[in-house]
Amino acid sequence: MNDVNFTIASQDRDPGTILLAHYYAPAAIRQAADFVGDSLELSRFAQTTQANRIVFAGVRFMAETAKLLNPDAEVLLPDAGSTCSLVEQTSLDQLTAWIDRERGKTDKPIAHVSYINSSVQHKAVSDWIVTSRNAEDIIGSLIDSGHRILFSPDRNMGSYFRYMHPEWDIKVWNAVCEVHDAFREQELDVLFQAWTDGPKFLLAHPESPLPILKRAHLVGSTTRMLDWVKAYQGSGTIYVATEIELINVMQAARPDLDIRVASSYTGCQCHACPYMKRNTEEAVLTALQGTDGVQIDYIDDDLAKAARAPILRMLSFEQ
């Protein structure tokens, strides 16, 4: 615990500064934020805000995306260590060698579709950026127009698309989210065999392993799962394979429902994203005050132009 007096309610801040938070950020940060969302909603918000300073309580690729979409705003990441395992496990040299190799294997048009959880350099060698909200729709439309897809970096999400659409011509990179990839089918078996009243449901984020996704009643992005829970009218137990903070948000939104993490680690901080949790009160407060934090001001113009184009393509597909 830090000993900072966390007084960052919006009235205490410079009016030109906003605080954005992902659902996985700690509760105190989300409560103080001007906007909380999933990665797609946060991108859209960052693109259109009139604020001239954005403190981004998420991870680095989210703050970088905000800067690409709103280059005139000052964007600050509270902690330099807020990375993502999908980014860290993807070497740019190996990625570009893979793309070149695959391009040489076919006469078909190739679309390199990258998940938004990627570095700026990775985005710059992509044709499309997608999030867990729109990946299936965007890839489906590229397949319909005759493309072979190279999907990077999330292996689990890519494997799920191959499983759901065996007819799709899609090659998949091999990185994982360390938080979602830790869910295990064997633990699910134990949970599902345990006695509880009523039906059992499984909701899973598509970064989870394929055996979990195959058994899920709903595979969806952060907001899609949250919306499902908010709207659910039945009874029973809802197991969720995702980051623990989102499960806390679901439980707070629907205290009448029995919502549990889909692993045997109930009650502990397992399945917590260590990178999101670096948005401590102290780090966010000092970023808001302008005394600390990482300025996202290191992306040169050519790189920004190349990385922005596939993100804008995604946002116009969405409209």
Query: Would you tell me which residues interact with ligand 13P (CB under 6 A)?
Result: 38-39, 117, 131-132, 177, 207, 221-222
Nearest approach, Cβ of 179 to ligand SF4 (angstroms)? 4
The verdict on 86 binding ligand SF4 (CB under 6 A) reads: yes
Using CB under 6 A, which of the segments 46-54, 121-129, 131-139, 176-184 binds ligand SF4?
176-184
Nearest approach, Cβ of 270 to ligand 13P (angstroms)? 15
The verdict on 115 binding ligand SF4 (CB under 6 A) reads: no
Nearest approach, Cβ of 240 to ligand 13P (angstroms)? 13
Question: Cβ(73)–Cβ(112) under 8 Å?
Answer: no
The verdict on 273 binding ligand SF4 (CB under 6 A) reads: yes
Q: Is 55 exposed, middle or buried (0-12, 13-18, 19+ CB in 10 A)?
A: buried
Taking each continuous run of H as one helix and of E as one strand, the counts in the chain are 14, 13
- Tell me, residue by residue from 207 to 246, as one string, x for binding to ligand SF4 by CB under 6 A and - for no binding: x-----------------------------------x---
Q: Which is nearer to ligand 13P, 117 or 119 (CB)?
A: 117
Residue 222 interacting entry, from ligand 13P, ligand SF4, none, C-beta within 5 to 8 Å by type: ligand 13P
Residue 49 interacting entry, from ligand SF4, ligand 13P, none, C-beta within 5 to 8 Å by type: none
The verdict on 296 binding ligand SF4 (CB under 6 A) reads: no
**How many whole angstroms separate alpha carbon 160 and alpha carbon 100?**
24
The verdict on 314 binding ligand SF4 (CB under 6 A) reads: no
The verdict on 275 binding ligand SF4 (CB under 6 A) reads: yes
DSSP 47-74: HH---SEEEEES-HHHHHHHHHH-TTSE
- Tell me, residue by residue from 180 to 199, as one string, x for binding to ligand SF4 by CB under 6 A and - for no binding: x-------------------
Using the structure block, give the residue that is written with the tokens 């700690």.
26
Q: Strand order of the sheet with strand 74-77?
A: 35-37, 17-22, 53-57, 74-77, 294-295
Phi and psi for 137 in degrees, rounded to 5?
A: -65, -45
Q: Which of 318, 319, 312 is nearest to 128 (CA)?
A: 312
Considering only 178, 185, 258, 318, the residue that binds ligand SF4 (CB under 6 A) is 178
Count Cβ atoms below 10 Å from residue 52 Cβ, excluding itself.
Answer: 14
**How many whole angstroms separate alpha carbon 255 and alpha carbon 295?**
39
Using the structure block, give the residue that is written with the tokens 């938004």.
116
The verdict on 85 binding ligand SF4 (CB under 6 A) reads: yes
Contact residues toward ligand SF4 (CB under 6 A) are: 59, 84-86, 117, 177-180, 207, 243, 273, 275-276
